């Protein structure tokens, strides 16, 4: 006879399994459109190369690297979906005939040969070294998580450790999606100058569902109450994202922890006494929040920022691009710091404006 404790645990686990929500499916058309209308800034291009090339040469280098990096992401997900081991180090190039692929003695070797026939990345590549790809893939995962998400979604019904037909079925899905992803990436690279307006448009036309409002607040209150706080929290989160990007653009440390602080402007003596550019900036940095504010804890804003980076990456993209544009060719001095602070204020106002426009769409996806 089963004990009461066993039965309690059994029914609790069974109930949890039935009520655990599944991961919502991505809207592939929407995600591809977002990729195709995004712009990569000079700093983005440098980061893709692992900060080994300045942006002029990085843009040339990345014109092909990004396409191959997204293909590798797809292959990584394809391997995982089929239960294949991770891809090993690069090998010498082989030109495999179809009969050689079909002659593979095991399903794993069959997959390896099939993938090799589709992949031009090897030790004989005239364009890239193996070490060029980790920073590129890391950048795409951070900036465009939908790339990996789309491939993973497309392969979600793959049969692990299946037969050759299962491999060919997923390979066909990979080829189809890789072509569409390549098209989106190519559009993104060809349209670098219209991105900021399109990024503002992405924000203003977004609709936050009830679930979005709950996740923005860390999923600890239901949407009826979450909606009451979301507007103010999004403003604080967006402004703090701007300060993070401002500090990065000036090569300063991260945003400082909240303190009680003071609202008064720094005195002339305090400004003159600043012994470094960062200390000068710390004196004039806009005060976003204090420990004695009546609305949020510091952790609430951090949770909101994490969600906004996933749901509205355009906010960070806009700040980053604007700071790069206004600082090009300028000497890093107090004058530049003042210019960048003013740019933060102007951009933050524009972002707040499109956030208000976004909030007008709430009724369209209220559930």
Confidence of residue 3 (pLDDT cuts 50, 70, 90): very low
* pLDDT (tens digit per residue) in 315-361: 999 999 899 888 887 889 999 999 999 999 999 999 999 999 999 98
Q: What is the DSSP string of 329-355?
A: T--SSHHHHHHHHHHHHHHHHHHHHHH
Predicted local distance difference test score (pLDDT) of residue 242: 95
The length of the chain, given as a count of residues: 367
Q: 20 pLDDT exceeds 70? A: no
* pLDDT (tens digit per residue) in 206-220: 989 889 999 999 988
Sign of the torsion angle spanned by Cα atoms 134, 137, 139, 142: negative
Q: 10 pLDDT exceeds 70? A: no
Contact (Cβ atoms closer than 8 angstroms) between residue 205 and residue 358: yes
For the whole model, what pTM was predicted?
A: 0.56
Q: 2 pLDDT exceeds 50? A: no
Q: 192 pLDDT exceeds 60? A: no
Q: Average pLDDT for residues 21-33, to the nearest whole number?
A: 83
* pLDDT (tens digit per residue) in 157-190: 888 888 899 999 999 999 999 999 999 998 876 5
* pLDDT (tens digit per residue) in 85-119: 998 898 888 888 999 999 999 999 999 999 988 88
In this structure, the number of other CB atoms found within 10 A of the CB of residue 216 comes to 25
Question: What is the distance between the terminal CA atoms of the chain, rounded to a whole angstrom?
Answer: 46
d(CA 361, CA 363): 6
d(CA 365, CA 207): 6
């Amino acid at each position: 006879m089963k004990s009461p404790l066993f039965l309690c645990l059994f029914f609790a686990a069974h109930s949890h399994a039935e009520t655990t929500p599944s991961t919502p499916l991505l809207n592939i058309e929407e995600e591809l459109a977002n990729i195709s209308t995004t712009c990569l800034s000079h700093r983005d291009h440098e980061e893709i190369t692992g900060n080994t090339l300045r942006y002029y040469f990085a843009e040339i280098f990345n014109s092909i690297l990004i396409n191959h990096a997204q293909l590798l992401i797809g292959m990584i997900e394809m391997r995982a979906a089929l239960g294949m081991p991770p891809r090993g180090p690069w090998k010498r190039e082989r030109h495999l005939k179809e009969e050689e692929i079909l002659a593979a003695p095991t399903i794993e070797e069959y997959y390896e040969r099939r993938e090799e026939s589709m992949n031009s990345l090897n030790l004989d590549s005239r364009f890239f070294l193996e070490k060029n790809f980790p920073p590129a893939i890391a950048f795409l995962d951070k900036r465009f998580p939908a790339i990996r998400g789309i491939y993973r979604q497309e392969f979600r019904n793959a049969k692990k450790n299946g037969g050759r037909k299962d491999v060919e079925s997923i390979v066909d899905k990979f080829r189809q999606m890789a072509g569409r992803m390549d098209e989106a990436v190519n559009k993104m690279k060809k349209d670098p100058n219209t991105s900021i307006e399109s990024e503002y448009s992405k924000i203003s036309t977004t609709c936050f569902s009830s679930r979005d409002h709950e996740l923005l607040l860390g999923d600890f209150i239901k949407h009826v109450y979450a909606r009451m706080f979301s507007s103010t929290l999004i403003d604080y989160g967006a402004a703090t994202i701007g300060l993070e990007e401002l500090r990065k653009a000036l090569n300063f440390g991260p945003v400082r922890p909240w303190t009680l602080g003071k609202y008064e402007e720094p005195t002339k003596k305090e400004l003159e006494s600043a012994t470094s550019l960062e200390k000068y900036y710390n004196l004039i940095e806009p005060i976003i929040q204090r420990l004695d504010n009546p609305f949020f804890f510091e952790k609430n804003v951090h949770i909101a920022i994490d969600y906004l980076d996933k749901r509205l990456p355009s906010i960070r993209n806009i700040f980053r691009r604007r700071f790069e544009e206004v600082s090009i060719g300028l000497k890093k001095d107090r004058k530049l710091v003042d210019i960048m602070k003013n740019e933060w204020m102007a951009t933050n106002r524009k972002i707040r404006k499109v956030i208000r426009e976004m909030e007008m769409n709430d009724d369209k996806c209220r559930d």
